[in-house]
Amino acid sequence: MAGKTKPMSQIKQLLLLHKEGNPIKSIARSLGISKNTVKSYLQKLSNGQLRVGELLALEDPILEGKFHPGNPAYKDPRFEHLSANLDYFTAELKRVGVTKKLLWEEYIENYQQGYAYSQFCFHLRQQLIARKPGMKLDHLPANKLFIDFAGKPLHHIDPLTGELVPCQVFVATLPFSGYSFALAVPSQRVDDFIYALRCCLHELGGCPLILVPDNFKSAISKADRYEPEINRVLEDFANHYKITVIPARPRKPQDKALVENDVKLVYNRVYARLRNRQFFDLESLNQAIKEKIKAHNQTRMQQKPYCREERFLAAEKHLLTPLPESDFEVKYYSEPMVGNNNYIYLGKDKHYYSVPYAYVGIRAKIIYTRAIVHVYARGKQIAVHIRDYTPGGYTTVKEHLSSHHQHYLERSPAYYIDKAKNRSHELYLLTQLIFDQSKPPEQSYRTCDGLLRLQKITPADAFARACEIAIDCRNFSYKFVERILKNKMEDQQNGPPKEQALPAHTNIRGKEYYKQTNLKF
């Protein structure tokens, strides 16, 4: 039956008129159709396959199928041949350089009565789609945040050299509302990625329950379909913001179809609209991106009576979990051995930090941020330091050192003078005179240590008298005071010895002897 198919409502009228006994000519005149058309429909009834009562009870699409079953493609031998080789075609299309055109040329060479190229591509595409049908996913508000980096970079110009500086573009999407965020960062390194993600959450004003990243290295250390290894920094970030990380499966773009589509929209509504503008720093570029993304979120969506921003503000933003009070800082990890000098070495900064001397020789764990270094051992925190970036330097807390080392570091003229003052007045005066000398004070530290030791083991009166003698004689050495005490010279009186008269004897010349000019013997 050539020509356009008649509406089934009109065919039902034809069946009713036929059931009432009207002839073909009268039915054709009443319905305004040709007698041959009426005959063709009634002929199908006369075959006994169809009954008028049953046909009138059917819905129009089903009734049309009864009268016009068509010629299904699956009954064509060419289709059966194509279906039999579908696995081969699917595998070959995954190989490098293989196209549908090449497969069709080989197909028609081996099966000359096969489909033409257009029909071959049509049936091949239909079969591939039927094998992997798509699925409509329903997303809950404030539940997931899809994140990814756009494949193509943006650029700004270095004002000093005029060179183009490439920037990676971070893209995030809330699937429920379609609300989008984009930010240009210098690279996809962990620091830049975490910074972009933090800016995204602050822009949203809250946190979703689940983070769905693609398998880029800053987020996923090792991609795996079943148990991917999440980057340690991203895990710390998620724990800080109380978010669960569920990565997309590798090589499965349908897992993050919304953000993939959002990247395409960013190309169209950000990249394309900024293509003729020049930027000379990253801040101005991001300001322009922010303006274009805002316009994108405020654009009315097709077949929906709202825009992305309206949907986000009305039904999603208030369901986001609150942001933590403190911002996240990237944490770095190290496990050095505590050295014999009770310092640990932080290799990234080439700097040394002190820990309590009781932990010498054990392996400690360091967790450090941009500003603070935390040291842990035996399940507890043993030290905290402000991070110092001086290569080869030492950061020391005095309480971490043993008493001997603390004494060594505390030594100074003021330290010894103060200790001597608390022991005795004579030692105090002697110590002051020791450091008043012109030699470097470090040379006198051991002398003071010796004098303090002597003071402990010597009676106070004897030691005080020995110090006075040393002061009087202007000899401030430890050895001199020690000899005084050893030889018990502290018992001698003060002042120079008295003159004694010579004993009487005859061997005295006298002054007259030296006045004579001629010697007389």
Tokens 């061997």 belong to 507
Whether 455 has a pLDDT exceeding 60, the answer reads yes
Exposure string of 389-427, with b = 16+ CB inside 10 Å and e = fewer, is eeeeeebbeeebbeeebeeeeeeebeebbebbeebeebb
* Topology, domain 144-319: Nucleotidyltransferase; domain 5 (3.30.420)
Across residues 116-137, what is the average pLDDT? 75
- Encode pLDDT of 332-375 as tens digits: 888 999 888 788 899 888 899 989 888 888 899 999 888 899 99
- The mean-pLDDT minimum among 152-166, 362-376, 407-421 falls in 407-421
User: Containing H/E element for 166?
Assistant: strand 164-173
Question: Which residues are paired to 155 by β-bridges?
Answer: 166
CB under 8 A, 24+ apart: contacts of 269-274: 269/293, 269/295, 269/296, 269/299, 270/169, 270/182, 270/296, 271/152, 271/154, 274/154
Residue 209 · residue 321 · CB < 8 Å: yes
How far apart, in whole angstroms, are the C-alpha atoms of residue 163 and residue 155?
Answer: 10
How far apart, in whole angstroms, are the C-alpha atoms of residue 376 and residue 371?
Answer: 17
Whether 2 has a pLDDT exceeding 60, the answer reads no
| pLDDT classification of 327: cutoffs 50, 70, 90 | confident
- Encode pLDDT of 463-483 as tens digits: 888 888 888 888 888 888 888
Exposure string of 30-43, with b = 16+ CB inside 10 Å and e = fewer, is ebebeeebbeebee
Query: So what's the pLDDT on residue 514?
Result: 67
Higher pLDDT, 213 or 285: 285
| pLDDT classification of 503: cutoffs 50, 70, 90 | low
Under DSSP, the state recorded for 220 is E
Tokens 């002929």 belong to 43
| pLDDT classification of 284: cutoffs 50, 70, 90 | very high
- Encode pLDDT of 186-237 as tens digits: 998 888 888 999 999 999 999 999 888 877 777 766 655 555 667 788 888 8
Query: So what's the pLDDT on residue 26?
Result: 86
Which has the closest alpha carbon to 14: 304, 32, 137, 520?
A: 32
Top mean pLDDT of 65-79, 207-221, 375-389 is at 375-389
Query: So what's the pLDDT on residue 55?
Result: 77
Which has the closest alpha carbon to 318: 200, 179, 208?
A: 208
360: left (phi over 0), alpha (psi -120 to 50) or beta: beta
How far apart, in whole angstroms, are the C-alpha atoms of residue 14 and residue 281?
Answer: 77
Whether 96 has a pLDDT exceeding 90, the answer reads no
Q: Is the pTM above the cut of 0.85?
A: no
Contacts of 13 (CB under 8 A, 6+ apart): 30, 31
Considering the chain, what is the average pLDDT of its residues? 82
Whether 283 has a pLDDT exceeding 90, the answer reads yes
| pLDDT classification of 499: cutoffs 50, 70, 90 | low
| pLDDT classification of 178: cutoffs 50, 70, 90 | confident
Whether 256 has a pLDDT exceeding 60, the answer reads no
Query: So what's the pLDDT on residue 1?
Result: 41
Whether 24 has a pLDDT exceeding 60, the answer reads yes
Q: Residue 22 has which token pair?
A: 């009207």
